[in-house]
Chain A
Amino acid sequence: METTESRGWSPYLAGALTGVVISASAWIAGNYFGASTCFVRVSGFIQQLFSPEKVAGMDYFKWFGPKVDWQVMMVLGILIGAFISSKTDGSFKIKSVPDMWASRFGPSPVKRGVFAFIGGIILMAGARLAGGCPSGYGLGAMVQLAVSGLIVVVCFFAGGIIFGQIIYRGGDSR
């Protein structure tokens, strides 16, 4: 498994430092964490290239218009930060099928890609219906003791655990 690569930092330490970053960004930029809204903005931006009139006429893009804001840059930064971290400690690895997935569903990258795509559609539709994702409701709303944050985070994990058990029922070769 991971015996050949460094094990990283304690999740408690990395998490607590993230809590400091959350506080700092509320202080310095006045922004709270979130990630799913920017998928709406980028999706609107892409559609705008093909049919600007249609996007301009859609209610949802009036709320979350196609523009580059703090959150779009933040989410882009996640990609860069993870790249820097993994490249510098040797944990960067090009991999098209996760180990656990392969042990249950086989090594086909096409099959994995198709299901990642379908899962992504369902997950994002759910996130937008709920009003946000684990970043927005956990690291943004729960941090501020919002009732919405607690309800949604409980539902994220409840749904994920229930369906995760169903999908992996029958076990794998682990």
Chain B
Amino acid sequence: MSTLVNGLITGIIFGFLLQKGRVVRYDKQMGALRLMDMTIVKFFFSAILTGMVGVAILHKLGIAKPLILPTNIGSNIIGGLMFGLGWSIIGYCPGTSLGALGEGRTDAFWGILGMLTGAALFAEIYPSLSRTVLLWGREGSITLPQIIGVNEWVVIVLFIMMGLGLFVFLEKKGL
């Protein structure tokens, strides 16, 4: 199967699940940022925890290669917070904006145009950023088990315990 067809099928299943989980719409995204409705948090961390176990097994068996995004502390933090500002205005993230458009939310279209514009602007200023912010705190492709110095399963079990704790808390609070 070609890579492109595989990507399309993966996306269709992902989009189907995002929509079934009701996480693509503005009210759910903002509901989480306003700490009123944590549906997207439940979805997001359920996916991450399940994926952690699956991917760790695949890495262990050597049938999938790790691809670790590098840690650049300065740009990770500044860019992450800036994303949060934009997110609180648009109420969609890059992946879910396409899903929102798919379920008929036409305001997502203007958001997608904004995102394409933002990508273009970033490409314009990239040369100056690559000499400044992007050089702050470059730590390379490091993982949590590496820096703590423990087996990856210790970290995964800790994450699962914290995640389940969070889910129990959210259900108790009715969020």
Contacts and interface: CB of A to CB of B under 8 A. Distances in A.
Interface of A: 7-33, 35-36, 39-40, 42-44, 46-47, 58-61, 68-86, 89, 91-101, 109, 112-168
Main secondary structure of the interface of A (DSSP, over half): helix
Contact of A18 (B47, B53, B79): B47
Given A29-B6, A151-B77, A152-B79, A42 B99 contact: no
A39 B24 CA distance: 18
Given A120-B110, A131-B76, A164-B88, 8 more contacts: A60-B126, A78-B11, A79-B98, A86-B19, A93-B105, A131-B75, A146-B142, A163-B88
Interface residues of B, number: 129
Contact of A124 (B57, B114, B155): B114
B103 A127 contact: no
B48 A19 contact: yes
Interface of B: 1, 3-27, 30-35, 39-40, 42-59, 63-73, 75-108, 110-124, 126-127, 129-130, 133-134, 139, 141-145, 147, 152, 155-156, 167
16 contacts: A9-B20, A19-B54, A44-B123, A76-B11, A77-B15, A81-B15, A81-B17, A82-B19, A83-B15, A128-B79, A129-B78, A129-B79, A143-B48, A145-B56, A147-B147, A164-B30
Contact of A79 (B7, B76, B86, B102): B102
A78 B18 contact: yes
Contacts of A162: 84
A85 B114 contact: no
Nearest to A148: B71
B48 A39 contact: no
A86 to B, nearest CB: 4
A75 B11 contact: yes
A18 B95 contact: no
A146 B12 contact: no
B48 A139 contact: yes
